[in-house]
Amino acid sequence: MNRRTFLLSSAGGALAIGCALGPTGGKTWRHFRHTGEFQPNAWIRILADNTILFTLDRTEMGQGTTTSHAALVCEELEVDPRTIRILHAEANRSYDNPDKELRIQITGGSTSTAASWQPLREAGAVAREMLKRGAAELWSVPVGELIARDARIEHAKSQRSATYGQLIRQAAIQEVPKVRLKEPKEFRWIGKSLDRLDGRAKVDGSGTYGIDVRLPGMVTAVIVRPPVRGAKLAKLDDRATRARRGVHDVVHIEEGVAVIAEGYWEARTGADLLKIEWDDGHGGSRDSAALFASFEKLSSSRGRKTVRDDGDAYRSTSSKAIEAVYKLPYLAHATMEPQNATAVIYGSGNAARCEVWAPTQTPGVALWRVAEAIGFDQKQVAIHQTMIGGGFGRRLLVDYAIEAARLAVHTGKPVQVIWSREDDQQTDWYRPMVVARMRGSVAAGNIDGWLHRIVCQSIVADEGPDFIGALMPSRTPRAVRRVFANGPARMFARGTLVDSTSTEGALELPYAIPNLRVEYTPVETGIPVGFWRSVGHSHNAFVTECFFDELAAAAGKDPFELRRALLGKHRRHLGVLELAAKQAGWGTPLPPGVGRGIALHESFHSYCAIVIEASVSGNRVTVRRAVVALDCGRVVNPGLVAAQAESAVIFGLSAALKQQVTFRKGRVQETNFHNYRSLRMFECPVIETYLVPSEETPTGVGEPGVPPVAPALCNAIFAATGKRIRTLPVEAALEAMT
């Protein structure tokens, strides 16, 4: 049982049906009579002036859902995507992600296009056919003689035509029909690199991110958080802060001490005047070196759970055996827009209403968590989505929205909570620290045995309660929801249930190795962990693809050729592997001191191979070139896919080369971008992206490019220097070697 199946089953019969098309024209007609809009389903509204509104049910956080999803609905609606208005969906079960493993309103798991491929095209087709039928009745002509084109219905024989807006009254009385979707040869927009529809709003500043929200009478809150996770307030002197001009109040809350003021500057400078003493408690003893040592000790024994066992990895015969220990640090999300949210309370008692504006990936989670936090029913809470300045999984959590709502209740005013960069770095839900112990054997030039032990925290133990709670109906009593939401967490933390985010990518290793075993041991450290771009694949691909190269060297084989030989009938794996190698010129000469490395990984139902060329001078690595081959099924927008592949390379190189979050006496040492560094422009390689032509259903794009980056880089470093990198980040590992 994987984590998502468990989340679904643990909610009993509590799932709501999301994204369903309206069952009859009666509902559409009632909506028309009330609003004057033609709204055949949850996504499309057409007004009398021919304005077409598309409600985007997935969050736009730079990955391009605004553009790709508009293309999906407009393809069948027969409208130029550049002519419609796009709105962000509020929290509503109608917009639950149709992916069978999620079923809540969420943007994550690289599911946006894959899950919307069918529903959005059907939505456009339903609206189109209802408009055609309305025109057929109005003009007394056969519906088969009508065509839809560029937001008009046309009848060639009578030379009549009408805009969609002119036909909404007739369309609204039609029954919702069964529709035929276009064949690929008929596509006008799908498969084309349509310019980003949100590009102008980002350039001219008219787009609204969470941090841009402004409400009349709004105040700003800055929260001073304890330097150690879980520390308690011991002593507070706020006299200087209260005397600071513009400061309204100082409030001790669960998260720390909140300073509420006229604006961010007043709140931030007021916060700096606070004199606070903290009781660190047990958290003050957390230390990264000690944690790594304890993880490594656990990896020396058999794992608590065996998640794959082919043949007998403990008894595989071999003339050569290789052992290695790989270590990966905690990583922060480091979104460019820090966490923030704005909330306001209207009314009082049973008539009270809370509205929240938040850059969240999970409006469905925010709805119940905010309601729970302030004691409201869900029907009293509205969550308004905004554009997001970077998500990477961090905004699956909604702690910032809860803070804003609680402070709005306290002040009786609209409150905007803004985190500083230091807040973000020191109070993140990090990508887990991981230690992996590997043992492999080679015989007759082939890999004969493979033992992979993973020691890692459970993400689902920390984040799972939020998602389970969101699955349950809004009418569920709070106490019941709390029990169902929090109960399974301990089972994942202790390993009673295996968290698949810890083993994904290792469990599904595609190579034909006769004796292959994967073991997993969960640990608890008190440091919160969360979903990070590509999740468990990000660490397991590093381990498996680097160790594969170690075994290939021991077997005396070219790592590309050995991969080909062991992939057997994995057609799509082979496709990207061979494409990347061909385009990179695998086997051709390189300048002195330059190495070439390759890595392959499947994640989120997509296949990605990367070849990297790199050189090393001291602890400085120069990445010259990255060649990406990606098979993500049918491509909706090639330009967006290429942009995601390029961003994955930069994101992955930044993490692999430079980034780590370390703890000393419970305190995070990397507090801002000066010591949690990302790749600078001059450090970026030439990136080439090649997409495999495919007629398969679209699959994930946002995350699959990340996992192969680190192993391809480290394999290139070995090819250039003969040094094996088994501990990330690379620059720190190279420095330790000198």
d(CA 391, CA 657): 21
Residues 177 and 270 in one domain: no
Instruction: For residue 468, tell me if it sits in a domain.
Output: no
Is the CB of residue 560 less than 8 Å from the CB of residue 592?
A: no
Q: Which two tokens stand for residue 433?
A: 């620290």
| Long-range pairs of 473-478 with CB within 8 A, sequence gap ≥ 24 | 473/14, 473/16, 474/367, 474/368, 474/377, 474/378, 474/379, 476/14, 478/372
Instruction: For residue 451, tell me if it sits in a domain.
Output: yes
Residues 579 and 706 in one domain: yes
Residues 647 and 669 in one domain: yes
At residue 668, the pLDDT reads 98
Residues 302 and 187 in one domain: no
Peptide bond into 729 cis (omega under 30): yes
Domain boundary among 177, 204, 231: 204
CB atoms within 10 A of CB 205: 9
How many distinct structural domains can be found in the chain?
Answer: 3
Mean pLDDT in order along the chain per 10 residues (738 residues)? 42 30 66 95 97 97 97 98 97 91 93 96 98 98 97 97 98 95 97 96 95 98 96 97 98 96 98 98 95 98 97 77 96 97 95 98 96 95 97 97 98 98 97 98 93 97 92 86 84 91 97 97 97 98 98 97 96 98 98 98 98 96 98 98 98 98 98 97 97 97 98 98 98 95
d(CA 244, CA 397): 33
Nearest partner of 123 among 65, 71, 88, judged by Cα: 71
Instruction: For residue 598, tell me if it sits in a domain.
Output: yes
Residues 353 and 450 in one domain: no
Residues 191 and 89 in one domain: yes
d(CA 720, CA 592): 8
At residue 540, the pLDDT reads 98
At residue 420, the pLDDT reads 97
Instruction: For residue 730, tell me if it sits in a domain.
Output: yes
Instruction: For residue 484, tell me if it sits in a domain.
Output: no
Domain boundary among 418, 442, 472: 418
Instruction: For residue 104, tell me if it sits in a domain.
Output: yes
Q: Which two tokens stand for residue 17?
A: 């049906």
DSSP 150: T
Residues 327 and 183 in one domain: no
Residues 180 and 224 in one domain: no
Domain boundary among 418, 449, 476: 418
Instruction: For residue 659, tell me if it sits in a domain.
Output: yes
Residues 409 and 530 in one domain: no
Instruction: For residue 470, tell me if it sits in a domain.
Output: no
Q: Which domain holds residue 548?
A: 288-332+430-458+495-737
Is the CB of residue 450 less than 8 Å from the CB of residue 440?
A: yes
Residues 150-174 have pLDDT tens digits of: 999 999 999 999 999 999 999 999 9
Residues 394 and 444 in one domain: no
- Residues 6+ positions from 493 with CB-CB distance below 8 Å: 458, 461, 522, 524
Tell the residue number behind the tokens 């961010």, with chain if given: 264
Q: What is the CATH number of the domain that holds 707?
A: 3.30.365.10
At residue 316, the pLDDT reads 67
Residues 16 and 140 in one domain: yes
d(CA 161, CA 149): 10
Residues 256 and 148 in one domain: no
Strand partners for 323? 439
Q: What's the pTM?
A: 0.94
